[in-house]
Amino acid sequence: MPTMTENLPNRVRKLTKPRSSAQALQPFLEAVSNSIMAIDDRESVFGDASNGAIHIAVSDLGTDEVKIEVRDNGIGLDQDRYKAFCEIDTDYKEGRGGKGVGRLYWLDAFKRIEVISQYRTGTKLARRAFEFRLTHEDQVLEVDDAEHDFGPTETGTIVRFSGLRQGPYSEHFPKRAATIKVYLAAEFISNFLSKVGPVVHLTATTKGGTLQSATFPKDVSELVARGPEAVNKIKLSDGSNLDVTCFLCDKKASSGLVGRHQVHLLGNERTVESRNVDDLVAIGPLKSEENEDLALHVLVSGELLNSNVSESRTSFSLTEGEVSDIVKEAVKSARSGFISDQLDEFDQARRATFEEFLRQQPIFGYANKDEIFASLPANAKSPEDFVSKLALPRFRAEQKREEALSSLVEKVVSGDEVPEDFGEVVRRAAEGVQDNERVALGHHAARRRVVLDLMDQLIRRLRNSPDRDKNHVENTLHSLLVPMRVNAANPEEEESAAHDLWLLDERLAFASGFSSDKRLAAVLEDSDSDLRPDVLLWDVLYGLGPVGQQGGEEEVEDTEPLSTVFIVELKHPGRENYKPEERIEDQIRRYVSEIKDDKIESFGRRKVSVTKDCQFHCLVVADFHGKLKEEVSGWDYIHNRRGRERRLGGDHSNVVIQAVEWDYVLSSSRQANRALLDAAGLDRPRKTDFVKQSSTENDYLVDVAQTPKAAE
């Protein structure tokens, strides 16, 4: 009967092609793996316990004419092994994970392949040498003059590869000698870390002469600070297990790999996939006794992986989800059993960061904080991480609460029968609303606390700054309160109109119609004045003027003239040198005289008239020193003698000036904020720690926008 024949070139053509340097190196690494097995066989067959060694020489890297020689002192290609070599898809090494196709990948990758082997036959030694060719016939062509250096009593095999075939192998084969070293170490990381197997000597040279040499396992095992240590096995759904072995190594053990911490998935004792697990481990550098800056290496092995190695040995025939789950479980086992002591310290620091985060951002305290912390992934350890991971759960918690309330309202309105426990359901829902309101209020108060602390720092800085710094810091303080050179009613400047004027007066918290550090000529219709009030407000929502939607999206009632205007003047903290012509009353009179009976450009470029009897509320914030102290000494006391007030007379009888010190502004705002924190049921957090980000002379806590006019 006819026997089916194999078309070798067609079989090789259908092999999986490399798409990376690691995959392009697999044919070479197959030769190294064969050598390791050959040395193991020599010991098991002949009981020869002499040191096994593999010598690898790579030259002309970076060209298509690369040359590789792999020489071992293993058992050699005796008759049985030679027969298996000549059989395509042999099952000779199946019990050891062999696929029987490794040498077919040699043919796919290299132009010329030469094999020389010396082996025992009975009590004598024999030698065979041949070329292995990608042809339809005579693929194994014996040669008589092959060069070798075998001793008279030595067994072993030499495999020589010359030249890369054009295509994927030529494109992806490594060009650097260091890459060969890294991938060789990674492929047999299990043996090298555990100091198992023969000594492997590597020399790799590029065409340009760059040399890399290594001796394994020494160069890898010397990097081990702790291990091997077996930890809890991974239990699979079919009842089988995967073994997990851990090492702590010098970070050099991860050289050439992505990241620091690695999980190596082994198939028949060879690395098939290495995955970076920095995010899963969560801790950066690890330590062991006196060794620091260490990396975690985890080896995972077992029958599931052995039986699912792909033909090319570069992946597993498992789904990505299955492989990912194995990696996660391996890290979980390592974290709980191998580095648990370091995790305790890490988690304590992480928990402290989380507690501080909730104090500063209480809006994320939407549930029991222990439960929230437990829900965070291990790699969430910074405020940015917490926000990223908690934003969606917080949204869902609020949505669930709103849905519960809507359901309650619907039951009441619909007239359906109310269950007996309806009162308890309503009570729980109301408590949820109250908790949500407290959280939102706490978030609002925490944000204000940061602003107050920053204001405190700026005031202190100004009082002690050298003259050269004052202009910059003054503008920083002004910009904290309200952006400089902004007319909030101008649509082109609307985006810059956010402010913190509540620091001065809570009624100004929602002010939307104002100008800051703008010439009156740019604000009034018929003025060419260069006078520049620090802040001029004419639409203070629900407080002092015409009421409309903040930002002017709805019509402001501008048919009636303005009856109230608010002016703010800021004098820099610590200032003492006031000139006689810089009296507050005179400055305010000039502003008022210019504004009265004119029109202010309001939202949408509408003109709003200012009545002749418009009331002007003027707030001056300063430290009472020098001529300023003398000027206000005759004014009436206000705020428990912490401020002064003066009502002007004559043509300016509609003007009231209040002067307060910076410390009063700060303390009164802090007192109000403490009330918010108390109402939210929160502890009063400590002051904010501000970290200077740069050492340049003019670098401050807040960027200064523009500096045409500082607080006087």
Query: By mean pLDDT, which of 81-85, 158-162, 165-169, 585-589 is the weakest?
Result: 81-85
Q: What are phi and psi of 16, to 5 degrees?
A: -60, 130
Give the pLDDT confidence of 397-431 residue by residue, as tens digits: 777 766 766 665 666 666 666 566 656 655 665 55
Which two structure tokens, joined as six digits, stand for 186? 């990674």
How many other CB atoms sit within 10 Å of the CB of residue 503? 22
CA distance 710 to 712: 6
Q: What's the pLDDT score for residue 489?
A: 66
Q: What's the pLDDT score for residue 602?
A: 65
Q: What's the pLDDT score for residue 560?
A: 66
**Which is more confidently placed, 248 or 563?**
248
**Confidence tier at 682 by pLDDT (50, 70, 90):** low
How many other CB atoms sit within 10 Å of the CB of residue 11? 15
DSSP string, 497-550: ----GGGT-GGGTT--EEEES--GGGTBTT-------SEEEEE-TTTTS----T
Provide the b/e sequence for 218-241 (b: ≥16 CB within 10 Å).
ebbbebbbbbeeebebbebeeeee
Predicted confidence (pLDDT) at residue 540 exceeds the cutoff of 50: no
Q: What's the pLDDT score for residue 553?
A: 46
The pLDDT of 617-629, averaged and rounded, is: 94
Q: What's the pLDDT score for residue 558?
A: 53
**Confidence tier at 547 by pLDDT (50, 70, 90):** very low
Please report which residue ranges of 188-317 form alpha helices under DSSP H.
189-194, 218-221, 278-281, 303-306
Q: What's the pLDDT score for residue 492?
A: 67
The pLDDT of 20-40, averaged and rounded, is: 91
**Which is more confidently placed, 527 or 64?**
64
The pLDDT of 88-107, averaged and rounded, is: 68
Predicted confidence (pLDDT) at residue 38 exceeds the cutoff of 70: yes
The pLDDT of 377-392, averaged and rounded, is: 84
Q: What are phi and psi of 53, to 5 degrees?
A: -145, 145
Which helix H or strand E contains 330, and what residues bound it? Answer: helix 320-337
The pLDDT of 633-639, averaged and rounded, is: 94
Predicted confidence (pLDDT) at residue 551 exceeds the cutoff of 60: no
> pTM (2 decimals)?
0.54
Q: What's the pLDDT score for residue 399?
A: 75
Distances (CA, A) of 93 to 38, 89, 343, 461: 11, 10, 43, 78
Q: What's the pLDDT score for residue 18?
A: 92
CA distance 422 to 424: 5
CA distance 19 to 197: 30
Find where tokens 């394994």 sit.
Answer: 216
User: Taking a C-beta distance cutoff of 8 angstroms, is the pair 425, 408 a contact?
Assistant: yes
In terms of average pLDDT, the best of 378-392, 397-411, 467-481, 543-557 is 378-392
**Confidence tier at 623 by pLDDT (50, 70, 90):** very high
Find where tokens 């992934």 sit.
Answer: 377
User: Taking a C-beta distance cutoff of 8 angstroms, is the pair 155, 237 a contact?
Assistant: no
Predicted confidence (pLDDT) at residue 203 exceeds the cutoff of 80: yes
In DSSP terms, 140 is beta-bridged to 132
**Confidence tier at 4 by pLDDT (50, 70, 90):** low
Q: What's the pLDDT score for residue 470?
A: 66
Query: By mean pLDDT, which of 175-179, 424-428, 577-581, 666-670 is the weakest?
Result: 424-428
The pLDDT of 444-450, averaged and rounded, is: 74
CA-based nearest residue to 688, from 508, 477, 458, 368: 458
- Amino acid present at 446: A
Give the pLDDT confidence of 323-345 residue by residue, as tens digits: 999 999 999 999 999 998 888 88
CA distance 635 to 646: 5
Predicted confidence (pLDDT) at residue 467 exceeds the cutoff of 80: no
Predicted confidence (pLDDT) at residue 632 exceeds the cutoff of 90: yes
Q: Are strands 241-250 and 513-516 parallel, antiparallel or unpaired?
A: unpaired
Predicted confidence (pLDDT) at residue 395 exceeds the cutoff of 70: yes
**Confidence tier at 289 by pLDDT (50, 70, 90):** confident
What's the chain's average pLDDT? 82
Q: What's the pLDDT score for residue 709?
A: 37
Predicted confidence (pLDDT) at residue 548 exceeds the cutoff of 80: no
Work out whether the CA dihedral 343, 349, 355, 358 comes out positive or negative: negative
CA-based nearest residue to 629, from 572, 568, 570, 577: 577
CA distance 337 to 78: 47
Find where tokens 């308890």 sit.
Answer: 424
CA distance 60 to 249: 32
> Any residues with CB less than 8 A from the CB of 310 and at least 6 apart, and which?
16, 272, 316, 317
How many other CB atoms sit within 10 Å of the CB of residue 144? 5
Hey, what domains does the chain have and what are their CATH numbers? 8-218 (3.30.565.10), 223-338 (3.30.230), 348-418 (no CATH), 466-668 (no CATH)
Helix and strand numbers, DSSP H then E, in the chain: 20, 23
Query: By mean pLDDT, which of 190-194, 234-238, 250-254 is the weakest?
Result: 190-194
Q: 287 in helix, strand or coil? A: strand
User: Taking a C-beta distance cutoff of 8 angstroms, is the pair 481, 516 a contact?
Assistant: no
Backbone conformation region of residue 161, classed left if phi is above 0, alpha if psi is from -120 to 50, else beta: beta
Q: What's the pLDDT score for residue 332?
A: 92
